[in-house]
Amino acid sequence: MTGFDRWRARSPFYNETHDAVAASVRRFVEREVASNIDRWEVEGELPRSLHVAAAQAGILGLGYPEEFGGFSDGFDIFHGLTQTEELCRVGAGGLSASLMTHSIGLPPILATGSTELKNRIAPGVLAGTTLIALGITEPSGGSDVANLKTRAIAKGGHYVVNGSKTFITTGMRADYLTTAVRTGGAGAGGVSLLLIPMDACGVSRTRLDKMGWRCSDTATIHFEDVVVPKDNLIGPENAGFLGIMRNFNHERLGMAMGCCGFARVCLDEAVDWAQQRETFGKALVKHQSIRIKLADMARQIDATQAWVDLCAWQVQNSCDQPADFALLKVQATQMLERVARDAAQVLGGASYITGSKIERIYREVRVNAIGGGSEEIMLDLAGRQLFG
């Protein structure tokens, strides 16, 4: 039994069906990803064929409606968390970020889009043949969603879009962008969601190089008089802000689970090193200071995992609140930062050389702490909701 399985065996939220999902995703990762991930990191993107393979393995469709090619009957939120963790095994955050980008681009369409839009977009996305991304962040505003500046002006049966988005995951390869645009006045009440085809005239993209998530293509996307049919409006006009916030909650729960998965990778690699490495005449793990460090890493991971599972249970039982996800994200990202640091200390100089999973994960700590809402914004959001 691996470290990834051990905690599930003692949890009331997981059973043999979750173990089956874990085993299936693990086979996919070993077959399709493990031997290729280093090359994809250098190339800066995943092959489109990987999305098709993931769809055929049941990964893209897990938890999505059967009518669009998904698999939802008999699955719960904990099956999704199990899948998220197993995708962490190769120690490359860009894999999950880019392969599963539909998990933030598609839900708004399924939640509030028209029947025609769902039928037109969802089947291809869940088959892996259509790539969809989410466009919220702008160069001028970061996480200040209510004050976004990209504008969509209604003209007859179309919108004309001008503006730009940045830090867009899968932005270079996406076929569609679920885009936050301003269709009304200032503030949250003037924001809508619009599905923009990335091959439309007036769309241009600039690739961004990054510290981490290197196998995930990231872009700044510019819109210059882009004409988009009104049929691509997702939900009512000027009612997109609430959908964005709900989407963020889902994203933050997934990010927290990913932090637990990557922290376990760090711990496993540190334990393996400590058991094999000898210093001062004995195995590294025989030194009390190292055992204490490893035990403290396990403590932090298990505590965060318990909170992830609690928040997931609250979602499943409709008693969650946004502050839960904001605080959880801070807890999870700070935990990952500490565990990755301590794991690097255990490996010493070996952790500074490209090739270890710890080296890669350590570079990706910052994107977790900033993406989906920075720690400062998350704590302020929770403080306003909980304490006025």
Extents of the domains making up the chain:
3-127, 132-239, 242-387
373: pLDDT confidence band, cut at 50, 70 and 90? confident
| Choice among 107-121, 203-217, 344-358 with the minimum mean pLDDT | 344-358
Q: What is the C-alpha separation between 195 and 108, in angstroms, rounded?
A: 10
- Selection from 131-135, 280-284, 383-387 with the highest mean pLDDT: 131-135
Q: Which CATH architecture has domain 132-239?
A: Beta Barrel (2.40)
For residue 175, give both structure tokens. 């076929």
Amino acid at 232: N
For residue 314, give both structure tokens. 């609250």
For residue 103, give both structure tokens. 């998990």
pLDDT reported for residue 143: 67
Long-range contacts (CB closer than 8 Å, 24 or more residues apart) made by 249-253: 249/320, 249/322, 249/325, 250/103, 250/104, 250/107, 251/103, 251/104, 251/372, 252/325, 252/326, 252/328, 252/329, 252/372, 252/373, 252/378, 253/308, 253/311, 253/312, 253/315, 253/325, 253/328
259 closest CA partner among 359, 307, 329, 210: 329
Q: Is the dihedral of CA 1, 257, 304, 288 positive or negative?
A: positive
Q: Kindly tell me if the per-residue pLDDT of 9 is higher than 90.
A: no
For every residue of 162-185, DSSP letters joined together read EEEEEEEETTTT-SEEEEEEE-SS
pTM for the model stands at: 0.93
Fold of 3-127: Butyryl-Coa Dehydrogenase, subunit A; domain 1 (1.10.540)
pLDDT reported for residue 355: 80
Q: What is the C-alpha separation between 342 and 239, in angstroms, rounded?
A: 45
Instruction: Write b or e for each residue in 181-213: b if 16 or more Cβ atoms lie within 10 A of its Cβ, otherwise e.
Output: bbbbeeebebbbbbbbbbeeeebebeeeebebb
Q: Kindly tell me if the per-residue pLDDT of 204 is higher than 60.
A: yes
Q: What is the C-alpha separation between 108 and 19, in angstroms, rounded?
A: 29
119: pLDDT confidence band, cut at 50, 70 and 90? very high
Helix (H, G, I), strand (E, B) or coil at 23: helix
Q: What is the C-alpha separation between 260 and 332, in angstroms, rounded?
A: 7
Report the pLDDT averaged over residues 85-91.
Answer: 95
What are the pLDDT digits (tens) for 22-78? 999 999 999 999 999 999 999 999 999 999 999 999 999 999 999 999 999 999 999
Q: Kindly tell me if the per-residue pLDDT of 255 is higher than 60.
A: yes
What are the pLDDT digits (tens) for 131-161? 999 999 999 876 678 889 999 999 999 999 9
Q: Kindly tell me if the per-residue pLDDT of 176 is higher than 60.
A: yes
pLDDT reported for residue 3: 63
For residue 357, give both structure tokens. 């999973």
Superfamily of domain 242-387: Butyryl-CoA Dehydrogenase, subunit A, domain 3 (1.20.140.10)
Which residues have a Cβ under 8 Å from the Cβ of 179 and sit 6 or more positions away?
Answer: 135, 150, 161, 165, 193, 194, 195, 196
Q: What is the C-alpha separation between 80 and 99, in angstroms, rounded?
A: 14
What are the pLDDT digits (tens) for 212-235? 999 999 999 999 999 999 999 999
- Selection from 102-116, 342-356, 370-384 with the highest mean pLDDT: 102-116
Q: Is the dihedral of CA 25, 213, 323, 140 positive or negative?
A: negative
131 closest CA partner among 92, 170, 104: 170
